[in-house]
Each structure stands twice: as structure tokens, then as C-alpha cells.
A and B are shown apart, each in its own frame.
Chain A
Amino acid sequence: MEKFTTHTGIGVPLRRSNVDTDQIIPAVYLKRVTRSGFEDGLFAAWRNDETFVLNDPTFAAGSVLVAGPDFGTGSSREHAVWALMNYGFRVVISSRFADIFRGNSGKQGLLTAQCSQDDVELLWKLLENEPGTSVTVDLESRTVTAGDLVASFEVDDYTRWRLLEGLDDISLSLRHESDITVYEASRPAWKPTVTA
């Protein structure tokens, strides 16, 4: 995973709450067996609407998405994270994220920055009044800066450390393989297996 320290890019205001992962990428786009190429399915239904924000050329190259509360609800599909990243997003800002989506993002290096809804509203106003405004997201100091606006965001310490270091979870867990083996020896004999 690539290290994430700070990112600056065009902010995209998405004034919607409850953006579920079926909206981020509909099921018909989930059939690929790779992790790439999902950008064509990103917000597929909404992109048919010419007034949709990503159809505005000013925002088309955006990389910081500013969305309403409860972003990423529903299906566990990590394809939602791949679609956002394949498109070019590196950060999503929202006042509340669904748990599975936030976890998936952390594994892939997409930063989910949790700001207060008041700050999200200020960002929306700024990005709508001055389309194309750059937003800087600094993971070290946990701040979002856009124009004169400086807002702090929350991200859990462990995810922040992993993102800053660019560490992948599996190799971290495999450092404790002996603990896993010890645990396995202690499991009750009546626990089922698929093969027995």
C-alpha cells in the first residue's frame, strides 16, 4: 500500500446523505475479477444525469469527495473503494461513514476523513461558490484546508499509523503467527470443520 501523508486536489461537493455502495457502484459492475477498471461503474446511475456533479468539467478531475452523512452504507463490496480510487479519489470527507466501507478504505489507502456536519456544510458552500477549489488533507495534523477554511477531522490512530507508514495488514498479522498456532491448539474439539 502507498504511504499517505498529505493530499491536495480538487474538492467535489456531493450533497447527498445515505450514499450506499449500490449507488457508488451498482451490482452489474461487480463481475470483474481484477481490482482495476471499476471507474466506469462509479456512480453509474447518477452519471446519466447531466446535472450530476462529476459531469461538470470543473469537478471531473476531483480527488477529494465531500459527501453527506452515512456514506458507504449497505453492501460490503470493496469494489466501491476500488471504483472511487480507480476514478482518482484519494479522500472522502463525511460526518459519518458506514463501518465496513471505512474498514475497506483503510486497507486500500483511501482516507475516510470524518468532519463535523457543520464543516461539511461550509466545505459544500465553498466548493459550490468557487468550483475547482483545491482541498488539502493532512493526515499528520488531521486537518482539512480549503480557501480560508481549516477543519479538523477524525480518523482512528491505528488506521492513521498504517496509512502514514503504508503498511499492509496481512504481514503485520503474520508477525504473530506463533500466537495464532497457540490459539488453534486451545480450540475445543467439538468446533466444526467443513471437511469432517
Chain B
Amino acid sequence: MAGTLAEKVWEQHVVRRGEGEPDLLYIDLHLLHEVTSPQAFDGLRLAGRPVRRPDLTLATEDHNVPTTPGPITDPVSRTQVETLRRNCEEFGVTIYPMGDAEQGIVHVVGPQLGLTQPGATIVCGDSHTSTHGAFGALAFGIGTSEVEHVLATQTLPLKPFRTMAITVEGELAPGVTAKDVVLAVIAKIGTGGGQGYVLEYRGSAIRALSMEARMTVCNMSIEAGARAGMIAPDETTFEYLRGRDHAPTGADWDAAVEAWRELRSDDDAEFDAEVVLDAASLTPFVTWGTNPGQGSPLGEAVPDPEAMGDDNDKVAAQRALEYMGLTAGTPLRDIHVDTVFVGSCTNGRIEDLRAAAEVIKGRRVADGVRMLVVPGSARVRLQAEGEGLDRVFTEAGAEWRLPGCSMCLGMNPDQLAPGERSASTSNRNFEGRQGKGGRTHLVSPLVAAATAVRGTLSSPADLEPVRVEETV
């Protein structure tokens, strides 16, 4: 029978199927961090249960960690991190703590180690687990009760998802990135449009994306309400994986690639829903509201809630503009920001940092604007420093930080003050997400860097050319 990519991966992991029950699915990789795991380990301890597969479980510290040198000063944050370390030691789970060469944001660490592989089932107590779907894995966020369930059984009882094809055909214009694609998708289908679905991104524009760009797209599937987003693996995927620490080698590699090549939706597979976007029509996209679906092309103006047809949309937009301190009709390019944040599991990988550095090189961060650049992992940081990107940023007046989730959600000291406005390469513009009273505009790394230079929401095309000093 013809099947979609998601259905094929699902079928390969069914441990048990019972009438009137959810399927019991096997989990290939379980990622942990300090925020959503302590109560799960507590549950195991109370029930006297071990971790069934410590060898398929990996922990890293990311949400609470400071991005400046030194220990965690907030005692409650410190307790949470120390609790994770104690739990990992007690239950025999591998952990990459602060300062370790492998530490980083959980969704950056898995792929760079080669643990994220096509056709795998991957879960984590974190909604941005959808990131790993870029490899053709079925990867989704779970709650703490489910974390405990996976620790105890290496399985999850799940009802099948519906499937939605998001087809993006054509070529993206220069300066239009994966972030713009996914923001446009969310604006089109809404924050609830993907509920109950696994999204499969396909089409020539998606196939042309690098692995890191594909991760950016899949990462934000959850912002459209979908638990998972997937992209069929291809040569780009295999090349990214080849030679990574945990990628198969020798005959195993050949066997794996043979299996991975089968992981694509059949030509006659039926999706429950389909959405089509024309890549050539996309331009840099930014959000103006307080959910990721409230976004518009950068060239447009803050929309007028009164012009919205749906009553719920209208009320939500009115509330959002009030919170954001914006007036309908203001050109988006006229919006001044105080802070620019480059980082997060959405846009904290090496290609993102290179893109931002390319724009900011030879330029200066505008007066009155602070720019934070936070690599997604210790490896990304070292690689960036090896390429001299850290100096590009610091010479432009930006701050170069240590890896972690940082200002994406402000569980560490990196927060917006009340009323402060950011252009952020992260994934959520919810009220107070980056700090109580903070106002967030979601943008791509290119838009972030250009905005830092001009001080207002901008794309690189808005910048004056860099003046090259003539040598005498």
C-alpha cells in the first residue's frame, strides 16, 4: 500500500497494535535537558523502576545555563542543573554538562553528533524536537509524564497522526532563507493549522536547502501546531551524516543508506491535507504580533485588525498590537529595536552565524542597540571562532557568548527588560517570552544582522555598501 514518509517511519516502530488502543511505538533516541526531566526521574525512583535503555538516552544542560563565563548564580537554576547531573549519575545516563566540549542546545547536539538519523523515532521533553525531522526522522516533543514513560519503557503509546504535505516549489530569491519560508508557512496555515498533523515539507525549494536550513524549517513546525515536521532524506542528508561520530561506518553505512533511500512518500501516497507555496513569491518575513502566525513580509506595514474577517483574529491582533506597542499602518521597516538576538535551536548553527557575520562584517551595530550572538553548542562556538566569526561580531560591537538557549526564553540572565523590543532569530514571540514585558519580532539571521546595523527592522538589501578603504 502506498504510504507517506511519516507513515513508513511509524510502521517500522510499532511494538504492539491493539484494537481500540493507541499503537505502542519504539523510541530510538531520547534526549533530555534539565527543565522537563526532574519530575520524571522522581517518578522512576518512587516506582523503583530503572531507565530501560540508558544507551539510547542522552542529556545536556541548555535552558538555564549562563552565556557569560562563570557558574550559575541563580540558586534555583543551579539546583535544577545539579538535579539533572545527580539523576544521570544515579540512572547511568550520559550527560554533557556546562563546559563540556559536547554541551549545547539539545537539538543542536543530536544532529552534530550524528545521533539524529533518517527513519529514527526521536523524542525529548521539548516542543522543538521537531527539528530532527529534517533528517527524515519522526521527532516530536513530549511532556514530563511521557519522558518518564520513555525512560521506563523506551516506548510511547500514540494515536496515529494525520499527514499534511507542505510543498514549496521554485527558487528562493537571494536574501530569502529557510526562516522566511517557515514563517510564511505559519502565517498561511495559522498556529492551529497543523494540530494533529505531521507536516512533510517537499518540493524543489526544500530539496535545495542545506541540512541546517532544513532543521530551521522543521524546528518551527510546532509553531503551526504540528508536533512534527519531516523532510525525506536525500544525498544532502547522507553527506551531512557521513563521518559523524555516531554515524554508521563500513558495511553498516551501506546497509543504513540502503534503508534510508526507501524513506520517501510514495508518488501515489495520499496526504490528509496539502498546502502549496511558491518559493519565488517569498520575501524576508517578520512577525509583528504575539504568536508566530502573526507575521508579514518585511516590506509591508503593521496590519489593521479592523480589516480582519475572523472575530477571534481581530481581537487577538488588537491585543497583540497593544502589547507590542504598535500602530496599524506603520511600515515594518520603521520599527526600532533595542536588542538583536542571534541564536537558539532555530538559528544557532554555524551557517546561521556565518550568514549574520557576512552581513555585519565591516559594519557597526547601531548606537543604542545591543546584539547578542549565542552559538547553539560548544562545537559551533569553536568552529565559529576557528573561522574568525567571533571577531567579526565583536569588532562590529556585538557580544559573543557561550552556548545555550539564552534569550530565546530567558530562563538564564539573558532577558529583555519590560517594554524592550527585540529582533530575534528564535522561534516564539509570545508575550513575555524573552523577559516580562519584552516585545519580540521573529526574524532570520540575515534580517537580524541588518536590523542591528540600522536599528530598525531591515534586510541586508537596505544597507549601504561597506566602504572599502583604499590603500595608499
Contact = CB atoms under 8 A, between A and B. Distances in A.
Interface in B13-55: 15-16, 20-22, 24, 26, 28-29, 35-36, 38-39, 42-43, 47, 49, 52, 54-55
Interface in A3-59: 15-18, 20, 22-23, 26-28, 30-35, 45
Nearest to B294: A18
B426 to A, nearest CB: 12
B191 A172 contact: no
A118 B249 CA distance: 58
Contact of B80 (A33, A183, A184, A196): A33
A75 B319 CA distance: 21
A33 B83 contact: yes
A170 B49 CA distance: 10
Contact of A100 (B142, B410, B432): B142
Interface residues of B, number: 84
B127 A74 contact: yes
A74 B292 CA distance: 10
A81 to B, nearest CB: 7
A92 to B, nearest CB: 15
A49 to B, nearest CB: 12
Given A20-B291, A76-B125, A76-B127, A26 B432 contact: yes
Interface string A166-196: 0001101110110110011001111111111
Interface residues of A, number: 61
A190 to B, nearest CB: 4
A139 B57 CA distance: 37
A157 B125 CA distance: 25
A73 B431 CA distance: 13
Contacts of A32: 76, 80
Given A28-B411, A157-B20, A194-B94, A22 B225 contact: no
Contacts of B42: 33-35
Given A179-B15, A193-B55, A74 B222 contact: yes
Contacts of B117: 191-192
B55 A195 contact: yes
A194 to B, nearest CB: 5
Given A78-B36, A78-B39, A184-B154, 9 more contacts: A34-B39, A75-B127, A75-B428, A103-B146, A170-B153, A173-B24, A176-B15, A176-B24, A194-B58
Interface of B: 15-16, 20-22, 24, 26, 28-29, 35-36, 38-39, 42-43, 47, 49, 52, 54-58, 63-64, 74, 76-77, 79-80, 83, 94, 114-115, 117, 120, 125-127, 141-146, 148-149, 152-155, 157, 159, 191-192, 195-196, 222-223, 225, 227, 246-248, 252-253, 255-256, 259, 291, 312, 315-316, 319, 409-411, 428, 430-433, 436-437
Interface of A: 15-18, 20, 22-23, 26-28, 30-35, 45, 68-70, 73-79, 81, 96-100, 103-104, 107-108, 156-158, 169-170, 172-174, 176-177, 179-180, 183-184, 187-196
8 residue pairs, one from A and one from B, having the closest CB atoms: A104-B143, A107-B145, A33-B38, A78-B143, A190-B252, A76-B141, A190-B248, A78-B144
